[in-house]
Amino acid sequence: MGVGGTADEEANRWMLRRAAMENGEDGCRSPSPEVGYYGATCPDADAIVRQVMERRFYNDNTIAPAIIRMLFHDCFVQGCDASLLIVPTPTRPSPERVAIPNQTLRALNIVNAVKSALEAACPGVVSCADALALMARDSFALLGGTAYDVALGRRDALHSNSWEDDLPAPFSSLDDTLRHFAAKGFTADETVLLFGAHTVGAAHCSSFRYRLARPDDGTMDESLRCDMVGVCGLADQPAAADYAMTFLDPVTPFAVDNAYYAQLMSNRSLLQVDQEAATHAATAGYVAYYAANPDAFLQRFSEVMAKLGTVGVLEGDAGEVRTVCTKYNTS
């Protein structure tokens, strides 16, 4: 995408350019709009991705939240360009993947399986960035979310650096987080919606253990605090439990629904920044609305997921189409 403009504007421009190509308005031959960007070059791309995802999901349903998280981490650092998927090598030892927030990411093997299936059918055609976007869409649907269209045509990055970590920290204030999301083109409403991904998320104790030693601050339900002390220990105790994990939505941990917002309304969020959203003037109304309107949440969440997948994409002659997602085509 071009430089400048909000994510909404960039997404709209990209959609218009794709529509123009598909309608032949640029004088070029184009894929059929009925089957998407790869209609002429890899018409079964959607089905191939979906088949692999369904097969792997029914063996291990934890892969779906992991893929959604992976898309977010990829898109928030230099755009949706599969730079996150590059693994370290002796000559390039510090790609994004070694940054601290990315060290706990899972399901790279699923990305490799999807890409291998695509390469077997259509060698060198479907980018890893597009594959990841389709995988996130299918993960969302497998978890009960509303299906959404994915605009395709992304290219894969030619560089990936751990120091370009641009992810909001779980310890950030809500004001800082809102500014961070706004810089990527997301409104306060859309930021609250992206928090909704935690309905199928999990957190390490290191992300919230500091809150457990503050029983009197009123921001965490006491029964939840006591339960988490049992899992994680207190903040002044040895950090052996920092990597223990717990669901952010223990009620329906593998269903995309609005239950997480109801937990925020009851002070039952583990993450401080999410909990702040329930009382902050810029976001409290959205939390209350989505807590009371499950259908509205599902529809809007699908829209903001589609928008997330358009942040900072490479297209045209930029980047490359990797044949293996974890390494560049040329070293």
Domain with 65, as residue range(s), is: 7-166
DSSP track, 252-287: STTS-STHHHHHHHTT--SSHHHHHHTT-TTTHHHH
SS3 state at 214: coil
180 assigned binding-site residue:
no
**2 vs 80 pLDDT, higher one:** 80
Residues 85, 97: contact at Cβ < 8 Å? Answer: yes
Residue 204 is labelled as binding a ligand = no
Are 238 and 139 found together in one domain? no
128 and 272 inside one domain: no
Please indicate, yes or no, if residue 323 is contained in any of the structural domains. no
Separation in Å, CA 4 to CA 11, 75, 116, 189, 258: 12, 16, 35, 22, 33
Q: 81 labelled as ligand-binding?
A: yes
Structure tokens at 262: 């109801």
Say whether both 217 and 83 belong to one domain: no
Residue 329 lies in a domain: no
Q: What is the mean pLDDT of residues 191-215?
A: 91
Residue 61 lies in a domain: yes
What's this model's pTM, rounded to 2 decimal places?
0.88
Confidence band (pLDDT; 50, 70, 90) for 165?
confident
Inform me whether the pLDDT recorded for 287 exceeds 70.
yes
* 242 annotated ligand binder: no
Residues assigned a catalytic role: 73
Q: What is the pLDDT of residue 32?
A: 28
Cα atoms in the Cβ-side hemisphere of radius 13 Å centred on 311: 23
Same domain, 182 and 57: no
- Same structural domain, 23 and 45: yes
Residue 307: band (very low, low, confident or very high) from pLDDT cuts 50, 70, 90: very high
pLDDT tens profile 211-270: 988 777 789 999 999 999 988 887 666 666 777 889 999 999 999 999 999 999 999 999
11 and 144 assigned to the same domain: yes
Q: What does the radius of gyration of the chain's CA atoms come to, in whole angstroms?
A: 20
CATH number of the domain within which 132 lies: 1.10.520.10
Q: Is 83 annotated as a binding residue?
A: yes
The answer to whether position 216 is within a domain reads: yes
Mean pLDDT within 108-131: 98
**Is 199 known as a binding-site position?**
yes
Q: Are residues 55 and 111 in the same domain?
A: yes
Whether residue 26 is annotated as binding a ligand: the answer is no
Q: Are residues 157 and 28 in the same domain?
A: yes
Is 168 annotated among the ligand-binding residues? Answer: yes
Examine the domain organization and report whether 268 and 223 are in the same domain: yes
Where residue 239 sits, what CATH number does that domain have?
Answer: 1.10.420.10
Tell me, yes or no, whether 326 lies in a domain: no
Examine the fold and report which residue of 141, 166, 191 is the final residue of a domain before the chain moves on: 166
Give the model's confidence band at 22: pLDDT under 50 very low, under 70 low, under 90 confident, else very high: very low
Placement of tokens 């960035």 in the chain: 129
pLDDT of residue 233: 83
Residues 29 and 140 in one domain: yes
The span from the CA of 169 to the CA of 184, in Å, is: 15
pLDDT at 164: 84
What is the model's pLDDT at position 11? 55
Do 141 and 20 share a domain, yes or no? yes
Is 207 labeled as ligand-binding?
no
Work out the pLDDT band at 24, boundaries 50, 70, 90. very low
Q: Is 74 annotated as a binding residue?
A: yes
Number of domains in the chain: 2
Do 160 and 178 sit in the same domain of this protein?
Answer: no
CA distances from 183 to 74, 100, 186 (A): 16, 22, 7
